[in-house]
């Protein structure tokens, strides 16, 4: 794809979202960058010319239904369509054993990670269904926690397992309209948000050990591959992880 195709990337002001937004822009996409902090979104564009017509900065809290509506209305009004949504915005939420997790922290995590992804998918789906030519692609960031939890991560892990269900439902419901949906599950990409993992991460046996990481730019390459497939093909699920991270097997 590329060649002026229109993408929306949430959580584009840091981490994986920043990497993906830059990769899409570099590949010729027009990209709407969504995130809560406008200054951080502009930092993502630091290497781009001022007033870049291929970039649209839209400060957005994905847990806010009206804010999400404004995001996609801005994309429609600017470029007339949306070809790709990368549902990336997320929060780790509260940590601790289930009896220690505050209910308001649980709810806040669900609102961002799950409801936020649904709200963005809902708006993208409506545009993709109505536009001509019809169709598009949604890529959800599931995380390794869509498969296997870390200790003390009930809220985050539950939302990421739920993202898998959302991905499958979007794939099924999108078939009549040419809307594909896939999921990328990322383990230990090196970003500012995961810097602590390389120093020491709590393991299932209670120990704290450093874990390997990999260059986050590889996530951008993987998303470009998924996004660039022709309409008749879809990467349903892909797991991209540091080769020796304690995930496969018993650690």
Active-site residues: which are they? 156
Give the Cα separation of 122 and 170 in Å (integer). Answer: 9
Structure token pair of residue 110 = 């669900």
Helix, strand or coil, per DSSP, at residue 241: strand
Give the Cα separation of 146 and 156 in Å (integer). Answer: 9
Which residues have a Cβ under 8 Å from the Cβ of 157 and sit 6 or more positions away?
145, 149, 150
Give the Cα separation of 141 and 146 in Å (integer). Answer: 9
Using the structure block, give the residue that is written with the tokens 């949504």.
Answer: 85
Cα angle value 238/249/246 (rounded, 5°) = 75
């Amino acid at each position: 794809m590329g060649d002026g195709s229109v993408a929306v990337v949430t959580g584009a002001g840091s981490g994986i979202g920043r990497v993906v937004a830059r990769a899409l822009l570099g590949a010729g996409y027009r990209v709407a960058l969504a995130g809560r902090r406008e200054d951080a979104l502009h930092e993502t564009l630091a290497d781009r010319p001022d007033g870049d017509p291929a970039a649209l900065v839209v400060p957005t809290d994905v847990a806010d239904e009206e804010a999400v509506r404004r995001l996609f209305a801005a994309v429609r009004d600017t470029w007339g369509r949306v070809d790709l949504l990368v549902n990336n915005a997320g929060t780790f939420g509260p940590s601790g054993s289930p009896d220690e997790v505050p209910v308001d922290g649980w709810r806040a995590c669900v609102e961002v990670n799950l409801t936020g992804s649904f709200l963005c998918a809902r708006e993208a789906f409506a545009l993709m269904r109505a536009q001509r030519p019809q169709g598009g692609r949604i890529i959800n960031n599931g995380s390794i926690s869509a498969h296997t939890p870390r200790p003390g991560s009930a809220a985050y892990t539950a939302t990421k397992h739920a993202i898998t269900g959302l991905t499958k439902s979007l794939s099924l419901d999108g078939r009549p309209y040419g809307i594909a949906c896939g999921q990328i599950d990322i383990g230990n990409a090196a970003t500012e948000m995961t810097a602590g993992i390389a120093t020491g991460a709590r393991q299932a046996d209670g120990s704290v050990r450093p874990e390997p990481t990999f260059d986050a730019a590889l996530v951008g390459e993987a998303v470009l591959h998924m996004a660039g497939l022709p309409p008749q093909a879809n990467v349903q699920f892909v797991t991209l992880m540091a080769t020796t991270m304690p995930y496969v097997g018993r650690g």
